[in-house]
Amino acid sequence: MDEERTIKLQNDDTILPVNLMSDTVTKPTPKMLEVMMLADVGDDVFGLDPSVNKLEQTAADLFGKEAAIFCPSGTMTNQIAIQLHTGRTDTVLCEKGSHIYQYETGGYAYNAGVGIDLIEGSYGKITAAQVEAHIRPAFDWYPRTSLVILENTCNKGGGSIYRLEEVLPISGLCRSKGIGIHLDGARIFNALIETQEDPEEWGRAFDTISICLSKGLGAPVGSLLLGHANRISEARRLRKVMGGGMRQAGYLAAAGLYALEHHRTRLKEDHHHASLLAETLGSCSFVNHIRPVQSNIVIFSVEDGTAASLVEKWKEQGILAVALGPDLIRFVTHLDVTNEMVERARKILKDNG
């Protein structure tokens, strides 16, 4: 975390709630705000915003891709990717907890006119054997399987991490079958900081990759879609038809570029904080099960029907969390959660446990 940001939080007399609702709740650091204010900007719809152009090329180079496009959200980058890879009445394969199925308001059907075949994975992850078993035969009466989407890390899997050795068999299968493969890499940097794998190798495994700047990296807005130049050229047209042309977007792109350059290695801190929270939860009587914690997400089950009331109770005590259902609660750590906040949250949990 920026030293200036740390000092500000420590010297603030206000007792801030420990906001564990999501890693999207972060605010720009002072240094990030400074580079935003000084950004060189132009009209990005005409390709004339130098800050956007630099961000796109930096991200593309990082994953060994030819080009990238900056969009307002990860939902938009995912929805554009689906349209790039599919035709109407096709079907997409993904794990049942995937963001594109759970949290993008059925956009795959609305925008691309495709269906979804869901796979029951393990903590959000699927295997090549499962993918192969779900590929539809080429009969007139079946929808054509045209795209496989993986999510890394897997949000509803508890921040579970795919390793490259798990992904390559799926990628090889898709290539052999002529099926596209897209990575919803909203939290890909949380995965890479743990595995220490080469982003370029991940780039080679996928046709398109979506990366989010406004989750763990702490930028206020934006995601990027990476791929071959011809695909990204078509993505610009699709972004426009979806209302995603943002004109002088360089002020936002500057924040994203700062996040890429300065906030990737510090993700380890968030993972450590998540593991400390999980350790405390493990001794609490109200917890039934904690999903394996591999990154910055902690998902745990409680007695059925009590999740919402627990979340409301903790809100009054100074912890903000999200109920994922009647018996599931999620904590997410991020750059605005300090060591002191984690210890305060652990004490509250112990007092309730």
| Residue 83: predicted pLDDT | 98
pLDDT digits (tens, 9 = 90+) for 37-49: 999 999 999 999 9
304: number of CA atoms within 13 Å, CB side? 0
Please check the confidence at residue 308 and state whether its pLDDT lies above 60.
yes
Please check the confidence at residue 51 and state whether its pLDDT lies above 70.
yes
Point out the domain boundary residue: 262, 290, 321.
262
| Residue 21: predicted pLDDT | 98
Both 288 and 243 in a single domain? Answer: no
Look up residue 260 and give its two tokens: 């890429």
Both 99 and 16 in a single domain? Answer: no
Domain count, the chain: 2
Look up residue 55 and give its two tokens: 């961000």
**Of 80, 86, 67, nearest in space to 178 by CA:** 86
DSSP string covering 9-24, please?
HHH--S---EE-S-TT
Both 284 and 207 in a single domain? Answer: no
| Residue 353: predicted pLDDT | 79
Both 296 and 164 in a single domain? Answer: no
C-alpha 332/C-alpha 338 separation (Å) is 13
Point out the domain boundary residue: 232, 262, 292.
262
Question: What stretch of H or E contains 195?
Answer: helix 188-195
Contacts of 247 (CB under 8 A, 6+ apart): 43, 44, 45, 49
pLDDT digits (tens, 9 = 90+) for 82-122: 999 999 999 999 999 999 999 999 999 999 999 999 999 99
Both 239 and 283 in a single domain? Answer: no
Both 278 and 249 in a single domain? Answer: no
| Residue 13: predicted pLDDT | 54
pLDDT digits (tens, 9 = 90+) for 122-148: 999 999 999 999 999 999 999 999 999
| Residue 12: predicted pLDDT | 54
